[in-house]
Amino acid sequence: MDAHGQQWPPGWVKGEGFVQPGENKSVVSFATWAEHFVETLTGVEIRTRFDYRRDIKRHLLPHFGDKDICDPEAITASDVRRWVNAMETGQRNKTKEWVRKPVSPKTIANLHGLLYSIFQSAVEAQPQLRAANPCARTRLPRVDNGVEDEMVFLEREEFERVKVAMAGICKGDTVDLIDLMVGTGLRWGEISALQIRDITVRGQHSVLRVQRAWKRQDDNTLLLGPPKTKKSRRTVALSPALVEILQRNTEGKKAEHFIFTTVTGKAWRHGNFYNRRWLPAVAQAQNDGLMKKPRPHDLRHTHVAWLIAANVPLPAIQARLGHESITTTVDRYGHLIQQLDDEVAAAVEAAMTGKRQSLRLAS
């Protein structure tokens, strides 16, 4: 550069080095590299690899597919920002019909994380394919910008409405199932995979052990496998009421039998339960005055809300839910702790003045 007046020397290509005249640059399309990225991932489940390929094909290839991932000017930070905006606003045709519907902020964040990883693998490749990641420092839509709440929390009376409605459907054969869901916070894939051998009844020290969960395969079939993460393999303490529920659902069954089954003795599938039990029960509950539209997974959120209302510490909730990190617990449920402001104020007052105060949340 000194020899050329502080200008790039002839034959120098930023990010490439010296390229001789007429030398052919290698071209690696984004589509090719994205497939390479997914194919060479380690430590992921079959379904995860399938989901990545689906998301790449559906959301990333239409914008970046045939562009050269090695060319810093072919895919820039501006291109990534335009992609984010396109995902957020969607696209309509001349008759105002959706060609591509808008994507939620949470989904955009997940897709951007996948896009970032693909580009970062190109940055870290040997030899390096590009010098910088165009996804770095992208400002994403706020996840809480949606009009509707992502999570639904049920009060005890609201959950009772769902239970009563469920009891009127097919003799209420899944009332115990939803009772255990809201009482333990287990995920659907975990509770539907519970077997007799997972339960230990020892008076006040009764527990269930989460050791397996249903895993969806790339051909849409389900197989039993390990829980979602390492910390998802956990022990959950049971109250006497939950022990009673389990005991009446384990009579006459062997160790490997599933606790909750259909009338044919098979494990419940989510689609079957959702369409034949959950949706009719929620619809009936709404007819009876329920103002919310919960999903089965909202029973897990409701479980957490009840624990927080009872002043159970977040680390204990993290362990009960099987979250890999306390950050996940705080990010999802930290806003509920605002209900404890009076408790916090009382604790600070006691520490500063020496006067003990007792403020409890209303049940």
Common-topology check for domains 26-145 and 156-308 = no
In the DSSP assignment, the letter for residue 207 is E
Identify which of 242, 145, 152 has the alpha carbon closest to the alpha carbon of residue 200.
242
Per-residue pLDDT tens, the chain, 363 aa: give them: 565 566 655 555 556 565 554 444 568 999 999 999 999 999 888 888 999 999 999 999 999 999 999 999 999 999 999 999 999 999 888 888 888 889 989 899 999 999 999 999 999 999 899 999 999 999 999 865 544 457 899 999 999 999 999 999 888 889 999 999 999 999 999 999 999 999 999 888 899 999 999 887 777 788 888 887 888 999 999 999 999 999 999 988 999 999 999 988 899 999 999 999 999 999 999 999 999 999 999 999 999 999 988 888 889 999 999 998 888 788 778 777 665 556 556 666 666 776 655 444 433
Tokens linked to 82: 């335009």
Residues pairing with 195 in the sheet: 258
H helices of 207-337, in order, are 240-248, 270-273, 279-287, 298-309, 314-321, 326-333
Q: Which residue has the tokens 């890999």?
A: 324
Distances (CA, A) of 286 to 115, 160, 216: 41, 12, 31
77 Cβ neighbours under 8 A, 6+ residues apart: 134, 135, 136, 137, 138
Res 30: pLDDT: 96
3-class DSSP state for residue 269? coil
pLDDT confidence of residue 359: 42
Q: What is the pLDDT of residue 6?
A: 66
SS3 state of residue 234: strand
Q: Minimal CA–CA distance to 108: which of 138, 147, 141, 78?
A: 141
User: Going by CATH, does the domain composed of 26-145 fall within 1.10.150.130?
Assistant: yes
Whether residue 47 contacts residue 218, with contact meaning beta carbons closer than 8 Å, is answered with: yes
Per 3-state DSSP, what percentage of the chain is helix, strand, and coil (rounded to 5)?
A: 50, 10, 40
The CB-side HSE value for 310 (13 A sphere, CA atoms) comes to: 9
Angstrom distance (rounded) from CA 303 to CA 159: 11
The pLDDT, as a whole number, for residue 147 is 43
Please give the helix or strand (H or E) that residue 184 lies within, else none.
helix 175-184
Where do the domains of the chain lie? 26-145, 156-308
Cα–Cα distance, 72 to 215 (Å, whole number): 39
Structure tokens at 45: 């489940």
Helix (H, G, I), strand (E, B) or coil at 97: coil
Q: What is the pLDDT of residue 9?
A: 58
pLDDT-above-90 percentage for the chain:
60
For residue 31, what is the DSSP state? H
Task: State residue 348's pLDDT score.
Answer: 66
Residue 23's pLDDT is: 47
The CATH class, in words, for 156-308 is: mainly alpha
Of residues 146, 86, 90, 138, the one with CA closest to residue 112: 138
- How many other C-beta atoms lie within 10 A of the C-beta of residue 360? 10
Whole-number CA gyration radius for the chain = 27
Is-above-0.75 flag for pTM? no
Cα pseudo-dihedral 135, 137, 143, 145, rounded to 10? -110
